[in-house]
């Protein structure tokens, strides 16, 4: 890179001139004379006077062409280490072109303008990446820069994008600081984790590795042999820092089982309050644990059925104090601002008590009967909300189903005892078919205005009944004369989640309808546009899936 013979030229263009000391000295003389002017400095080999500038230019022209003609290649710098092999099969050509097109559609260019009938390609990228990763294809190397740039701007894309990008992306990220995030996201800058069966190596990495490497190692082992991960953690537990203990403990959530109880029970005595709380939470998710049993006794003492009334009614007597035993079992003593501390303690007790113990305590009633019982003194909200949290934590589908109620029930649409956020969480404990059916029923009864959050927990692509319910509801909304952008959230979800096979059902909707008198002006055209975009996007998704060989 150095033009060794021309030190006056610090930004020397690439090639290096052949070393020729006298010639380069002559050139420097010419440059100096040109800078100062021939009036002040006579160039070498020229007579001063009116002809000096011409002579200087003649000489400089000869030198310039001479220097250029004599350029030699530079010495090669140290070559980079070759990128690791990517053993995955190459992406089919059509899919590679599709990817390039998805990546070329950068947000921002059309900002502020309506998208019209064209699909939002960038929104399809996550789906494309997920499918390609399932199929285990390797990324074409030349798209990696665009892929990394896209992942740089959108953190939600990063895990899937980096998985697809493979080892070469990590190699590239070491060369370009813009993509440093790829190194952070990959533990050890992409160094492979040892084989989880190799005890020696695993122990060494566990004891000497960086925090990110250790978290990844623990998660990998926990996913395969849960007990091995726990034993590994136990080796170094007393010497870990509090925030590290919290992270490690959290990784036990995967594959949590009764075997973990002794370890968690011991963590209840931890120095750190957050570690204690997490250990208690994990234990309460194990219905057979001693902690769960203790909580069941405490909660049971607070809830009784008052048989003296005309209809049996649940009576709640919230705890009067938070004793050290409760505190040790993870109950947080201090209530958040604005909440009574007795109801705060009560909520935590019920949340942590195994749901399976309630029928026994409440006169052998089934969950349905229990939830249907009236609750005295306005405790219903508090009690039912705590049961919801318990059902989610213990992944108890029967209670979740009961607490959700029937989707068409009138209170399901309004702000009932159970909020939409809680419903979405409860739905998460059900199987995907049941979830889709419940949400479909909800939409059929209450329309789309409250459905966004619930649709978000449904499996993609949407099951047939759910898809039909959404399309019908959109159709109804259109006929009601509202504007499509009131439903842009659901529309966007539908574009990404509706089964492409359903596109045929939309055929009738893409036409511009006659405007009814009470409709918002021009709404019909906008709806047709929105439906057209939906159909186009579905077609695109079908093509994407086919190119990746999943149809």
Partner 1 sequence: MTQQGVRWTADQVLALAPDAASRKAGSKLGAAGPWSEAGSSDEGTVWGLCKGSGSKPYQTVVDIADASGPAYKCSCPSRKFPCKHALGLLLLWAGGDGVVPPGRAPDWAEQWLAGRRRRTEEKRAARPSASASGSGDPEAARRRAERRAERVTAGASELEQRLADLLRGGLAGAEQTGYGLWEETAARMVDAQAPGLASRVRELGAIPASGPGWPVRLLEECALLHLLDQGWLRRARLPEELAATVRSRTGLPASADGPPARDRWLILAQYDLVDPKLTTRRIWLHGADSERTALLLSYGAAGRAPELALPVGLVLDAEVSAYPGAGQLRAALGERFAPPAPAVIRPPGVTTAQAAARYGDALRDDPWLESVPVTLDHVIPTPDGDSWQLADAGGATALPLTPSARSRPGLWRLVALSGGAPVKVFGECGHRGFNPLTAWPEGTGEAVTLC
Interatomic CA distance for residues 519 and 366, integer angstroms: 49
Among residues 116, 153, 374, 549, the one that binds partner 1 under rule CB under 8 A: 116
Using a CB cutoff of 8 Å and minimum separation of 24, what contacts does 159-166 make? 159/185, 160/126, 160/129, 160/130, 160/133, 161/129, 162/186, 163/129, 163/133, 164/129, 164/132, 164/133, 164/137, 164/139, 165/139, 166/86, 166/88, 166/138, 166/139
From 3-11, 281-289, 300-308, 397-405, span contacting partner 1 (CB under 8 A): 3-11
Residues 138-157 close enough to bind partner 1 by CB under 8 A: 141-145
Q: How many Cβ atoms are within 10 Å of 378's Cβ, its own excluded?
A: 8
Among residues 40, 113, 320, 334, the one that binds partner 1 under rule CB under 8 A: 40
The per-residue b/e assignment along 34-57, b for 16 or more CB within 10 angstroms, e otherwise, is: eeeebeebbbeebeeeeebbebbe
Residues 505-534 close enough to bind partner 1 by CB under 8 A: 532-533
Binding of residue 73 to partner 1 (CB under 8 A): yes
Binding of residue 9 to partner 1 (CB under 8 A): yes
Binding of residue 36 to partner 1 (CB under 8 A): yes
Binding of residue 1 to partner 1 (CB under 8 A): yes
Instruction: Compare residues 168 and 203 and give the one whose CB is closer to partner 1.
Output: 168
In angstroms, give the least distance from the CB of 58 to partner 1: 7
- Alpha-carbon separation of residue 499 from 114, 131, 334, 460, 539 (angstroms): 25, 14, 48, 8, 10
Interatomic CA distance for residues 439 and 424, integer angstroms: 10
Among residues 21, 22, 78, 414, the one that binds partner 1 under rule CB under 8 A: 78
Interatomic CA distance for residues 222 and 265, integer angstroms: 19
CB of 126 closer than 8 Å to CB of 164: no
In angstroms, give the least distance from the CB of 111 to partner 1: 13
Instruction: Compare residues 100 and 225 and give the one whose CB is closer to partner 1.
Output: 100
Instruction: Compare residues 3 and 158 and give the one whose CB is closer to partner 1.
Output: 3
Instruction: Compare residues 1 and 191 and give the one whose CB is closer to partner 1.
Output: 1
Closest CA to 215 of 238, 235, 186, 258: 186
Binding of residue 101 to partner 1 (CB under 8 A): yes
Tell me which DSSP letter residue 17 carries.
E
Among residues 21, 77, 111, 337, the one that binds partner 1 under rule CB under 8 A: 77
Instruction: Compare residues 53 and 356 and give the one whose CB is closer to partner 1.
Output: 53
Residues 50-69 close enough to bind partner 1 by CB under 8 A: 52-54, 56-58, 60-61, 63-65, 67-69
Binding of residue 172 to partner 1 (CB under 8 A): yes
Among residues 19, 35, 269, 421, the one that binds partner 1 under rule CB under 8 A: 35
Instruction: Compare residues 35 and 47 and give the one whose CB is closer to partner 1.
Output: 35
From 37-45, 181-189, 214-222, 312-320, span contacting partner 1 (CB under 8 A): 37-45
Interatomic CA distance for residues 503 and 487, integer angstroms: 19
Question: Residue 114 corresponds to which tokens in the numbers above?
Answer: 């309506």
End-to-end CA distance of the chain: 53
Instruction: Compare residues 58 and 321 and give the one whose CB is closer to partner 1.
Output: 58
In angstroms, give the least distance from the CB of 448 to partner 1: 23
In angstroms, give the least distance from the CB of 161 to partner 1: 14
Interatomic CA distance for residues 93 and 402, integer angstroms: 50
Instruction: Compare residues 36 and 210 and give the one whose CB is closer to partner 1.
Output: 36
Residues 80-99 close enough to bind partner 1 by CB under 8 A: 80-83, 93-94, 97
Instruction: Compare residues 8 and 235 and give the one whose CB is closer to partner 1.
Output: 8
Instruction: Compare residues 186 and 284 and give the one whose CB is closer to partner 1.
Output: 186
439 φψ region: left (φ > 0), alpha (ψ -120 to 50), beta (else): alpha
Binding of residue 31 to partner 1 (CB under 8 A): yes
Interatomic CA distance for residues 44 and 33, integer angstroms: 8
Site string for partner 1, 121-140 (x = CB under 8 A): x-------------------
Q: How many CA atoms lie within 13 A of 139 on its CB side?
A: 26
Using a CB cutoff of 8 Å and minimum separation of 24, what contacts does 19-24 make? 20/70, 23/63, 23/66, 23/67
Instruction: Compare residues 64 and 155 and give the one whose CB is closer to partner 1.
Output: 64
Among residues 26, 100, 220, 246, the one that binds partner 1 under rule CB under 8 A: 100
Interatomic CA distance for residues 270 and 397, integer angstroms: 32
């Amino acid at each position: 890179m150095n033009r060794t013979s021309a030190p006056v030229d610090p930004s020397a263009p690439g090639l290096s001139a052949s070393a020729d000391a006298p010639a380069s000295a002559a050139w420097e003389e010419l440059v100096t004379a040109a800078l100062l002017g021939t009036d002040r400095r006579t160039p070498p080999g020229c007579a001063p006077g009116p002809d000096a500038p011409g002579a200087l230019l003649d000489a400089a022209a000869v030198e310039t062409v001479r220097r250029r003609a004599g350029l030699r290649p530079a010495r090669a710098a140290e070559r980079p280490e070759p990128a690791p092999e990517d053993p995955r099969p190459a992406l089919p050509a059509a899919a590679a072109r599709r990817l390039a097109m998805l990546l070329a559609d950068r947000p921002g260019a059309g900002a502020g303008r309506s998208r019209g009938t064209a699909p939002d390609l960038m929104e399809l990228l996550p789906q494309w990446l997920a499918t390609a990763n399932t199929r285990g294809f390797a990324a074409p190397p030349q798209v990696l820069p665009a892929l990394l740039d896209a992942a740089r701007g959108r953190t939600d894309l990063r895990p899937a994008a980096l998985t697809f990008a493979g080892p070469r992306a990590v190699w590239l990220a070491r060369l370009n600081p813009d993509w440093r995030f790829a190194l952070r996201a990959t533990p050890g800058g992409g160094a492979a984790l040892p084989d989880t069966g190799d005890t020696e190596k695993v122990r060494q990495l566990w004891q000497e590795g960086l925090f990110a490497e250790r978290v990844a190692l623990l998660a990998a082992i926990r996913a395969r042999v849960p007990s091995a991960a726990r034993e590994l953690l136990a080796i170094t537990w007393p010497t870990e820092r509090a925030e590290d203990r919290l992270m490690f403990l959290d990784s036990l959530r995967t594959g949590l089982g009764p075997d973990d109880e002794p370890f968690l029970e011991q963590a209840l005595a931890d120095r750190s309050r957050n570690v204690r709380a997490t250990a208690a939470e994990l234990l309460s998710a194990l219905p057979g644990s001693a902690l769960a049993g203790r909580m069941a006794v405490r909660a049971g003492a607070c809830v009784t059925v008052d048989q003296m009334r005309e209809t049996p009614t649940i009576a709640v007597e919230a705890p009067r104090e938070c004793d050290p035993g409760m505190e040790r079992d993870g109950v947080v003593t201090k209530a958040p601002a604005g909440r009574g501390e007795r109801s705060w303690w009560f909520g935590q007790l019920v949340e942590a008590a195994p749901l399976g113990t309630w029928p026994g305590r409440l006169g052998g009633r089934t969950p349905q009967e229990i939830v249907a019982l009236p609750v005295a003194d306005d405790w219903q909200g508090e009690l039912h909300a705590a049961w919801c949290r318990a059902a989610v934590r213990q992944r108890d589908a029967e209670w979740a189903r009961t607490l959700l109620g029937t989707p068409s029930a009138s209170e399901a649409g309004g702000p009932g005892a159970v909020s939409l956020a809680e419903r979405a969480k409860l739905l998460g404990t059900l199987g995907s078919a049941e979830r889709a059916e419940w949400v479909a029923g909800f939409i059929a009864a209450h329309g789309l205005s409250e459905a966004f959050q619930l649709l978000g927990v449904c499996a993609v692509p949407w099951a047939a009944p759910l898809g039909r319910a959404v399309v019908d509801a959109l159709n109804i909304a259109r006929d009601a004369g509202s504007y499509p952008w009131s439903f842009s959230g659901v529309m966007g979800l539908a574009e990404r989640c509706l089964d492409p096979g359903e596109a045929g059902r939309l055929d009738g909707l893409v036409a511009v309808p006659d405007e009814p008198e009470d409709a918002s002006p021009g709404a019909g055209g906008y709806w047709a546009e929105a439906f057209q975009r939906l159909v186009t996007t579905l077609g695109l998704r079908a093509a994407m899936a086919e190119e990746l060989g999943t149809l």
